[in-house]
Structure 1
């Protein structure tokens, strides 16, 4: 169920034209309008389910970015054996938004495998623009704080030669207590 290539009857190296043609063949066979006059409710529901699966598969395989992510996750899950093929498919009710037969889904038709030893995902997160911008901003803040800390110490030493901060604070306390007693 979760294998989009199997749903459309395609090889993994199928072209976009082959994906489109396979989806059209599947749509002609399983479209709910074709089975609308059938007296068997189970057959109508099964055709609608198969059509939603084909729509989900076409949605993922027809877009280059979604297909690349799907292929990457499919390869990583099969090589490590962490997820089953049913983890790729989302339920039909969550995949469609209630309009038509599976065309209004949000976010694709497969779920991300659980986090673990997915180094590709970690690399993808670490190289995102938002992460790199935050990393650059935090490094500027930290280097600015280190510069200011050193600058404050240098300013103190220039204006108070021979005295440490503790000595200066002691002399201030002596002045305060001396004025309070007289």
Structure 2
């Protein structure tokens, strides 16, 4: 289902255009307006009203609209949006990839963008950062404690002196 097509809008429609299209279609398909119509007409109007309401709900919210545009394949990867919908949602009868530039051999930034903007990825990245930061802090604090306890000696020098002391004890 293409939300832009349902509201009769282009992909670069403003919020005011979305609101106006929704108002007009909501008045046209509102179930109360068709209460005296036949069951078939009433059911059709109810379905259309629900579709119009869902389209409005998605397109009026900036985050939902951006997510919808990205998921429906209308983001062209160059900072803009291309027309048409995907074939699964009834779009314009073209395949999902009809408006995308030909895939080049190599790295696909669109897939990377989708992956790194997922909430799970960002949470895992933050968790990994905390773990790595903790490991660095422990390592540095261990070195600082060693230097406080053994001023002027490296770990290797300390181990050599321990070996010398053990050797002297065995001789005695």
User: In 2, distance between residues paired with 1:61 and 1:144?
Assistant: 46
Whether contact under 8 Å (2:116, 2:122) holds in the other structure is no
User: In 1, distance between residues paired with 2:50 and 2:119?
Assistant: 35
- Structure 1: give runs of 5+ residues left out of the alignment: 89-116, 172-182
Residue 72 and residue 32 in structure 1: after superposition, are their counterparts in 2 closer, same or farther (change >3 A)?
same
Residue 127 and residue 161 in structure 1: after superposition, are their counterparts in 2 closer, same or farther (change >3 A)?
same
Residue 18 and residue 150 in structure 1: after superposition, are their counterparts in 2 closer, same or farther (change >3 A)?
same
User: In 2, distance between residues paired with 1:135 and 1:126?
Assistant: 14
Structure 1 stretch 13-22 or stretch 139-148: which is displaced more? 139-148
Structure 1 residue 163, shift from structure 2 partner: 2.8
Helix, strand or coil for the counterpart of 1:34?
helix
Aligned to 1:49: 47
Aligned to 1:27: 26
Residue 134 and residue 23 in structure 1: after superposition, are their counterparts in 2 closer, same or farther (change >3 A)?
same
TM-score normalised per structure 1: 0.57
Whether contact under 8 Å (1:4, 1:57) holds in the other structure is yes
Q: Establish whether residue 61 from structure 1 lines up as the match of residue 59 from structure 2.
A: yes
- Structure 2: give runs of 5+ residues left out of the alignment: 78-85, 92-109
